Structure 1
Amino acid sequence: MTSLRLVPIAIILTLATGCSATSGIGHPEGNTSDMDMRRAAEEADAIMQRTLSGVKPELRWNHGPSNDKSCVNGNNDSSGTGSVKRRIAIMTVVSKERRGNLLGVVERDWNARGYRITSVRASSEVPAIYAATPEDFRMRVAVGGEGQFFFSITTPCFTESAVPDPAVEPNTPQRAGDYPPRPDVHDEFWSSNAPLPTSSSSAS
Protein backbone atom coordinates (compact mmCIF):
# COMPACT_ATOMS: atom_id res chain seq x y z
CA MET A 1 0.00 0.00 0.00
CA THR A 2 1.23 3.46 -0.77
CA SER A 3 2.28 5.31 2.38
CA LEU A 4 1.38 8.90 3.03
CA ARG A 5 4.42 10.96 1.98
CA LEU A 6 3.74 14.67 2.25
CA VAL A 7 6.97 16.46 3.12
CA PRO A 8 10.41 15.43 4.43
CA ILE A 9 10.79 14.89 8.15
CA ALA A 10 13.02 17.29 10.07
CA ILE A 11 15.96 16.10 12.12
CA ILE A 12 14.17 17.28 15.23
CA LEU A 13 11.46 14.67 14.64
CA THR A 14 13.32 11.81 16.21
CA LEU A 15 11.54 8.52 16.72
CA ALA A 16 11.79 6.30 19.72
CA THR A 17 12.09 3.19 17.58
CA GLY A 18 14.52 1.60 19.93
CA CYS A 19 11.92 1.28 22.68
CA SER A 20 10.99 -2.11 24.02
CA ALA A 21 7.71 -3.67 22.98
CA THR A 22 6.64 -3.66 26.61
CA SER A 23 5.52 -0.80 28.79
CA GLY A 24 4.98 0.02 32.41
CA ILE A 25 1.29 -0.46 31.76
CA GLY A 26 -0.45 -3.15 29.79
CA HIS A 27 0.97 -6.48 28.64
CA PRO A 28 3.86 -7.35 26.36
CA GLU A 29 2.67 -7.14 22.78
CA GLY A 30 1.81 -10.56 21.36
CA ASN A 31 0.54 -12.04 24.69
CA THR A 32 -3.26 -11.84 24.62
CA SER A 33 -4.14 -15.37 25.73
CA ASP A 34 -5.26 -14.30 29.21
CA MET A 35 -6.75 -10.91 28.36
CA ASP A 36 -10.18 -9.72 29.34
CA MET A 37 -11.66 -6.34 28.47
CA ARG A 38 -9.92 -4.63 31.40
CA ARG A 39 -6.50 -5.91 30.41
CA ALA A 40 -7.19 -5.17 26.75
CA ALA A 41 -7.99 -1.57 27.70
CA GLU A 42 -4.69 -1.36 29.60
CA GLU A 43 -2.81 -2.67 26.58
CA ALA A 44 -4.63 -0.20 24.32
CA ASP A 45 -3.53 2.60 26.66
CA ALA A 46 0.05 1.32 26.53
CA ILE A 47 0.03 1.27 22.72
CA MET A 48 -1.28 4.83 22.66
CA GLN A 49 1.45 5.97 25.05
CA ARG A 50 4.15 4.27 22.99
CA THR A 51 2.82 6.08 19.94
CA LEU A 52 2.89 9.46 21.70
CA SER A 53 6.41 8.79 22.99
CA GLY A 54 7.61 8.50 19.40
CA VAL A 55 6.74 12.12 18.66
CA LYS A 56 9.28 14.87 19.40
CA PRO A 57 8.77 17.67 20.36
CA GLU A 58 6.25 16.27 22.83
CA LEU A 59 2.58 16.73 22.05
CA ARG A 60 0.16 18.03 24.67
CA TRP A 61 -2.89 15.79 24.95
CA ASN A 62 -5.92 14.78 26.94
CA HIS A 63 -8.13 11.72 27.11
CA GLY A 64 -11.24 11.54 24.97
CA PRO A 65 -14.32 9.44 25.75
CA SER A 66 -13.71 5.74 26.39
CA ASN A 67 -16.34 3.33 25.09
CA ASP A 68 -16.88 -0.39 25.51
CA LYS A 69 -19.44 -2.58 23.82
CA SER A 70 -20.50 -6.21 23.74
CA CYS A 71 -19.56 -8.40 20.79
CA VAL A 72 -22.17 -10.66 19.20
CA ASN A 73 -21.96 -14.01 17.42
CA GLY A 74 -23.26 -14.95 13.99
CA ASN A 75 -26.82 -15.15 15.35
CA ASN A 76 -26.55 -11.61 16.71
CA ASP A 77 -26.57 -12.98 20.26
CA SER A 78 -24.19 -11.92 23.00
CA SER A 79 -20.92 -13.84 22.83
CA GLY A 80 -19.82 -13.03 26.37
CA THR A 81 -17.05 -10.84 24.98
CA GLY A 82 -16.61 -7.15 24.33
CA SER A 83 -14.27 -4.57 22.85
CA VAL A 84 -12.96 -1.25 24.14
CA LYS A 85 -12.28 2.01 22.32
CA ARG A 86 -9.90 4.63 23.69
CA ARG A 87 -9.42 8.16 22.34
CA ILE A 88 -6.85 10.90 22.76
CA ALA A 89 -7.33 14.52 21.70
CA ILE A 90 -4.20 16.52 20.90
CA MET A 91 -4.22 19.93 22.54
CA THR A 92 -1.10 21.17 20.76
CA VAL A 93 -1.92 23.49 17.87
CA VAL A 94 -0.49 21.79 14.76
CA SER A 95 -0.22 24.19 11.84
CA LYS A 96 -1.30 23.20 8.35
CA GLU A 97 2.36 23.35 7.32
CA ARG A 98 3.33 20.73 9.94
CA ARG A 99 0.39 18.28 9.76
CA GLY A 100 2.02 16.15 7.09
CA ASN A 101 5.17 15.90 9.18
CA LEU A 102 3.28 14.68 12.22
CA LEU A 103 1.39 12.09 10.18
CA GLY A 104 4.68 10.91 8.71
CA VAL A 105 6.27 10.55 12.15
CA VAL A 106 3.37 8.43 13.41
CA GLU A 107 3.35 6.27 10.28
CA ARG A 108 7.07 5.61 10.57
CA ASP A 109 6.77 4.78 14.25
CA TRP A 110 3.96 2.30 13.60
CA ASN A 111 5.89 0.65 10.79
CA ALA A 112 8.99 0.38 13.00
CA ARG A 113 6.95 -1.37 15.69
CA GLY A 114 5.68 -3.98 13.25
CA TYR A 115 2.19 -2.56 12.93
CA ARG A 116 0.44 -2.92 9.57
CA ILE A 117 -0.81 0.20 7.81
CA THR A 118 -4.28 -0.83 6.67
CA SER A 119 -5.51 2.35 5.01
CA VAL A 120 -4.57 5.95 4.28
CA ARG A 121 -7.04 8.79 3.73
CA ALA A 122 -5.01 11.18 1.62
CA SER A 123 -7.24 14.22 2.08
CA SER A 124 -5.83 17.73 2.02
CA GLU A 125 -8.15 18.78 4.85
CA VAL A 126 -8.92 15.68 6.97
CA PRO A 127 -6.18 13.11 6.31
CA ALA A 128 -5.94 9.95 8.39
CA ILE A 129 -3.83 6.82 8.75
CA TYR A 130 -5.22 3.49 9.95
CA ALA A 131 -3.14 0.61 11.29
CA ALA A 132 -3.38 -2.70 13.13
CA THR A 133 -1.09 -4.48 15.57
CA PRO A 134 -0.32 -8.19 15.05
CA GLU A 135 -2.97 -8.87 17.74
CA ASP A 136 -5.50 -6.81 15.71
CA PHE A 137 -5.75 -3.76 17.94
CA ARG A 138 -6.97 -1.19 15.40
CA MET A 139 -5.47 2.31 15.53
CA ARG A 140 -6.17 5.60 13.79
CA VAL A 141 -4.52 9.00 13.70
CA ALA A 142 -6.71 11.60 12.04
CA VAL A 143 -6.96 15.33 11.47
CA GLY A 144 -10.36 16.72 12.39
CA GLY A 145 -12.02 20.10 12.74
CA GLU A 146 -9.73 23.14 12.92
CA GLY A 147 -6.79 20.88 12.07
CA GLN A 148 -6.94 19.09 15.43
CA PHE A 149 -5.24 15.70 15.72
CA PHE A 150 -6.97 12.70 17.28
CA PHE A 151 -5.70 9.23 18.12
CA SER A 152 -7.96 6.28 18.74
CA ILE A 153 -7.60 2.54 19.24
CA THR A 154 -10.18 -0.27 19.30
CA THR A 155 -9.41 -3.64 20.84
CA PRO A 156 -10.49 -7.05 19.54
CA CYS A 157 -13.21 -8.89 21.43
CA PHE A 158 -12.17 -10.33 24.80
CA THR A 159 -13.99 -11.83 27.79
CA GLU A 160 -16.36 -9.27 29.26
CA SER A 161 -15.20 -7.48 32.41
CA ALA A 162 -15.40 -4.08 34.03
CA VAL A 163 -13.30 -1.47 32.22
CA PRO A 164 -11.57 1.25 34.28
CA ASP A 165 -10.74 4.72 33.08
CA PRO A 166 -7.22 5.18 31.67
CA ALA A 167 -4.63 5.20 34.46
CA VAL A 168 -2.15 7.46 32.68
CA GLU A 169 -2.50 11.13 33.59
CA PRO A 170 -2.62 13.47 30.58
CA ASN A 171 0.04 16.16 30.31
CA THR A 172 -2.43 19.01 30.06
CA PRO A 173 -5.43 19.89 32.28
CA GLN A 174 -8.91 18.72 31.36
CA ARG A 175 -10.89 21.52 29.70
CA ALA A 176 -14.43 22.37 30.66
CA GLY A 177 -17.21 22.13 28.12
CA ASP A 178 -18.18 19.77 25.36
CA TYR A 179 -15.83 17.29 23.72
CA PRO A 180 -13.61 17.87 21.92
CA PRO A 181 -12.00 20.94 23.43
CA ARG A 182 -10.07 22.66 20.66
CA PRO A 183 -6.27 22.83 20.81
CA ASP A 184 -4.92 25.82 22.69
CA VAL A 185 -1.26 24.95 23.43
CA HIS A 186 1.21 26.62 21.10
CA ASP A 187 4.49 24.89 20.37
CA GLU A 188 7.49 26.53 18.77
CA PHE A 189 7.85 23.69 16.28
CA TRP A 190 4.41 22.15 15.72
CA SER A 191 2.52 25.44 15.63
CA SER A 192 4.94 27.15 13.27
CA ASN A 193 3.62 28.27 9.90
CA ALA A 194 7.05 28.06 8.33
CA PRO A 195 7.51 25.07 6.00
CA LEU A 196 10.36 22.73 6.84
CA PRO A 197 13.49 23.16 4.71
CA THR A 198 13.54 20.68 1.86
CA SER A 199 17.09 19.71 2.79
CA SER A 200 15.96 18.38 6.18
CA SER A 201 16.30 14.67 6.68
CA SER A 202 15.00 12.18 9.22
CA ALA A 203 17.12 11.18 12.15
CA SER A 204 18.76 7.76 12.14
Structure 2
Amino acid sequence: MTVDQLDAAERCETLLRETVDAVRPAPAWREAVSGTGVRLPPPGRESEPHWYVTRRRDLLTLVSPCRQGELVGVVERHWRRRGWTITSLTAGRDRPGVAAVTWDGYQLALGVGEFGAITLTAGSPGAARPRRWATGGVASLPNVHCPYWSAPM
Protein backbone atom coordinates (compact mmCIF):
# COMPACT_ATOMS: atom_id res chain seq x y z
CA MET A 1 0.00 0.00 0.00
CA THR A 2 1.10 3.56 -0.64
CA VAL A 3 1.50 6.19 2.06
CA ASP A 4 -1.78 7.74 0.90
CA GLN A 5 -3.51 4.37 1.26
CA LEU A 6 -2.07 3.95 4.75
CA ASP A 7 -3.37 7.41 5.68
CA ALA A 8 -6.78 6.49 4.26
CA ALA A 9 -6.79 3.21 6.20
CA GLU A 10 -5.92 5.10 9.39
CA ARG A 11 -8.74 7.62 8.74
CA CYS A 12 -11.20 4.73 8.20
CA GLU A 13 -10.07 3.16 11.49
CA THR A 14 -10.57 6.47 13.31
CA LEU A 15 -14.09 6.86 11.87
CA LEU A 16 -14.98 3.31 12.93
CA ARG A 17 -13.54 3.77 16.42
CA GLU A 18 -15.45 7.03 16.97
CA THR A 19 -18.69 5.39 15.82
CA VAL A 20 -18.18 2.29 17.97
CA ASP A 21 -17.40 4.48 21.00
CA ALA A 22 -20.67 6.41 20.50
CA VAL A 23 -22.84 3.32 21.08
CA ARG A 24 -23.90 2.90 24.73
CA PRO A 25 -24.14 0.55 26.43
CA ALA A 26 -21.04 -0.68 24.61
CA PRO A 27 -21.65 -3.84 22.58
CA ALA A 28 -18.88 -6.23 21.50
CA TRP A 29 -17.35 -5.59 18.07
CA ARG A 30 -14.77 -7.49 16.04
CA GLU A 31 -12.45 -6.40 13.26
CA ALA A 32 -13.64 -7.90 10.01
CA VAL A 33 -12.48 -8.29 6.43
CA SER A 34 -10.86 -5.12 5.15
CA GLY A 35 -9.92 -4.34 1.62
CA THR A 36 -8.20 -2.20 -0.93
CA GLY A 37 -8.93 -1.95 -4.59
CA VAL A 38 -8.97 0.11 -7.72
CA ARG A 39 -11.93 1.50 -9.63
CA LEU A 40 -11.10 1.83 -13.29
CA PRO A 41 -12.55 4.69 -15.32
CA PRO A 42 -15.56 3.87 -17.49
CA PRO A 43 -14.68 2.76 -21.05
CA GLY A 44 -13.96 5.71 -23.32
CA ARG A 45 -13.07 8.11 -20.51
CA GLU A 46 -9.55 9.39 -20.05
CA SER A 47 -8.97 9.50 -16.32
CA GLU A 48 -6.80 7.93 -13.70
CA PRO A 49 -7.96 4.82 -11.85
CA HIS A 50 -9.14 5.50 -8.28
CA TRP A 51 -7.76 3.36 -5.47
CA TYR A 52 -9.76 2.92 -2.30
CA VAL A 53 -9.51 1.41 1.16
CA THR A 54 -12.31 -0.15 3.22
CA ARG A 55 -12.35 -1.16 6.86
CA ARG A 56 -15.09 -3.06 8.66
CA ARG A 57 -16.36 -4.09 12.09
CA ASP A 58 -18.85 -6.86 12.81
CA LEU A 59 -21.10 -6.58 15.85
CA LEU A 60 -20.78 -9.69 18.02
CA THR A 61 -23.50 -8.66 20.45
CA LEU A 62 -26.88 -10.12 19.63
CA VAL A 63 -29.24 -7.19 19.04
CA SER A 64 -32.90 -8.14 19.37
CA PRO A 65 -35.01 -7.24 16.32
CA CYS A 66 -36.94 -4.65 18.31
CA ARG A 67 -33.66 -2.85 19.24
CA GLN A 68 -32.03 -2.90 15.78
CA GLY A 69 -33.76 0.33 14.73
CA GLU A 70 -32.66 1.94 17.99
CA LEU A 71 -29.04 1.01 17.28
CA VAL A 72 -29.31 2.50 13.79
CA GLY A 73 -30.77 5.65 15.37
CA VAL A 74 -27.88 5.97 17.83
CA VAL A 75 -25.37 5.78 14.97
CA GLU A 76 -27.38 8.14 12.75
CA ARG A 77 -27.56 10.80 15.49
CA HIS A 78 -23.83 10.48 16.16
CA TRP A 79 -23.03 10.99 12.48
CA ARG A 80 -25.39 13.97 12.23
CA ARG A 81 -23.76 15.58 15.31
CA ARG A 82 -20.42 15.23 13.52
CA GLY A 83 -21.89 17.20 10.62
CA TRP A 84 -21.83 14.32 8.14
CA THR A 85 -24.45 13.96 5.42
CA ILE A 86 -26.85 11.04 5.81
CA THR A 87 -27.12 9.47 2.35
CA SER A 88 -29.44 6.58 3.20
CA LEU A 89 -31.68 5.68 6.11
CA THR A 90 -33.81 2.56 6.40
CA ALA A 91 -35.54 2.70 9.72
CA GLY A 92 -38.00 -0.11 9.11
CA ARG A 93 -38.00 -3.30 11.13
CA ASP A 94 -36.75 -5.41 8.21
CA ARG A 95 -32.99 -4.89 7.96
CA PRO A 96 -32.59 -1.29 9.11
CA GLY A 97 -29.47 0.62 8.14
CA VAL A 98 -27.88 4.02 7.71
CA ALA A 99 -25.17 5.42 5.45
CA ALA A 100 -23.33 8.73 5.53
CA VAL A 101 -20.53 10.65 3.88
CA THR A 102 -18.04 12.78 5.81
CA TRP A 103 -16.95 16.29 4.87
CA ASP A 104 -13.77 14.80 3.33
CA GLY A 105 -15.55 12.18 1.23
CA TYR A 106 -15.29 9.06 3.41
CA GLN A 107 -18.34 6.81 3.31
CA LEU A 108 -19.77 4.99 6.31
CA ALA A 109 -22.56 2.47 6.59
CA LEU A 110 -24.19 0.42 9.33
CA GLY A 111 -26.51 -2.32 8.19
CA VAL A 112 -28.38 -5.34 9.49
CA GLY A 113 -27.93 -8.42 7.33
CA GLU A 114 -28.91 -12.05 7.34
CA PHE A 115 -29.66 -13.67 10.71
CA GLY A 116 -29.21 -10.36 12.57
CA ALA A 117 -25.57 -9.88 11.57
CA ILE A 118 -24.71 -6.17 11.85
CA THR A 119 -21.78 -4.63 9.99
CA LEU A 120 -20.17 -1.20 10.23
CA THR A 121 -18.09 -0.18 7.21
CA ALA A 122 -15.88 2.81 6.38
CA GLY A 123 -14.57 3.46 2.87
CA SER A 124 -12.16 6.03 1.56
CA PRO A 125 -13.01 8.44 -1.25
CA GLY A 126 -13.04 6.63 -4.56
CA ALA A 127 -14.82 3.57 -3.17
CA ALA A 128 -17.95 2.65 -5.06
CA ARG A 129 -20.86 2.30 -2.66
CA PRO A 130 -22.22 -1.23 -3.00
CA ARG A 131 -25.97 -1.66 -2.66
CA ARG A 132 -25.89 -3.00 0.92
CA TRP A 133 -22.25 -2.14 1.74
CA ALA A 134 -21.46 -5.74 2.58
CA THR A 135 -17.84 -5.56 1.48
CA GLY A 136 -16.35 -8.98 1.09
CA GLY A 137 -16.66 -12.02 3.26
CA VAL A 138 -19.51 -13.10 5.47
CA ALA A 139 -20.34 -11.12 8.58
CA SER A 140 -19.80 -12.83 11.90
CA LEU A 141 -23.00 -14.07 13.46
CA PRO A 142 -23.70 -12.39 16.77
CA ASN A 143 -23.22 -14.63 19.80
CA VAL A 144 -22.62 -12.28 22.76
CA HIS A 145 -25.64 -11.48 24.94
CA CYS A 146 -26.11 -8.07 26.52
CA PRO A 147 -28.79 -7.22 29.10
CA TYR A 148 -29.76 -4.14 27.10
CA TRP A 149 -29.20 -4.77 23.37
CA SER A 150 -30.24 -8.44 23.41
CA ALA A 151 -33.36 -7.96 25.51
CA PRO A 152 -36.75 -7.87 23.82
CA MET A 153 -38.67 -4.70 24.63
Counterpart in 2 of 1:187? 146
Detail structure 1 runs of 4+ shifted over 2 Å in the superposition: 71-81, 121-124, 178-181
CA deviations on 1:112-166 (whole Å, 9 max, x unpaired) are 01111011124421111110000110111101112221101110149xxxxxxxx
Counterpart of 1:101 (choices 57, 70, 83) is 70
What is the CA–CA distance in structure 2 between the aligned matches of 1:73 and 1:103, rounded to whole Å?
Answer: 34
Counterpart in 2 of 1:61? 29
What is the TM-score normalised by the length of structure 2? Answer: 0.83
What is the CA–CA distance in structure 1 between the aligned matches of 2:49 and 2:66, rounded to whole Å?
Answer: 47
Higher helix share: 2
Counterpart in 2 of 1:131? 100
Within a 5 Å distance, the mapping from 1:18-33 to structure 2 comes to none
What is the CA–CA distance in structure 1 between the aligned matches of 2:89 and 2:123, rounded to whole Å?
Answer: 17
Aligned length: 141
Shift of 1:99: 1.1
Matched position secondary structure for 2:48? strand
More RCO (CA 8 Å, sep 6+)? 1
Q: Give 1:135's aligned amino acid.
A: D
1:145 and 2:104 are equivalent in the alignment: no
Q: Is there any run of 5+ residues in structure 1 with no aligned partner, and where?
A: 1-34, 159-177, 196-204
CA deviations on 1:147-201 (whole Å, 9 max, x unpaired) are 221101110149xxxxxxxxxxxxxxxxxxx8433111000100111x2xxxxxx
Identity of counterpart residues, as a percentage?
Answer: 30
Larger Rg: 1
Q: Is there any run of 5+ residues in structure 2 with no aligned partner, and where?
A: 128-136
Q: Residues 71 and 78 of structure 1 are in contact (CA less than 8 Å); yes or no, is this contact kept in structure 2? A: no
What is the TM-score normalised by the length of structure 1? Answer: 0.63
What is the alpha-carbon root mean square deviation over aligned residues?
Answer: 2.1
Shift of 1:72: 2.8
Task: Tell me: CA distance 1:122–1:98, structure 2 relative to 1, closer, same or farther (3 Å).
Answer: closer
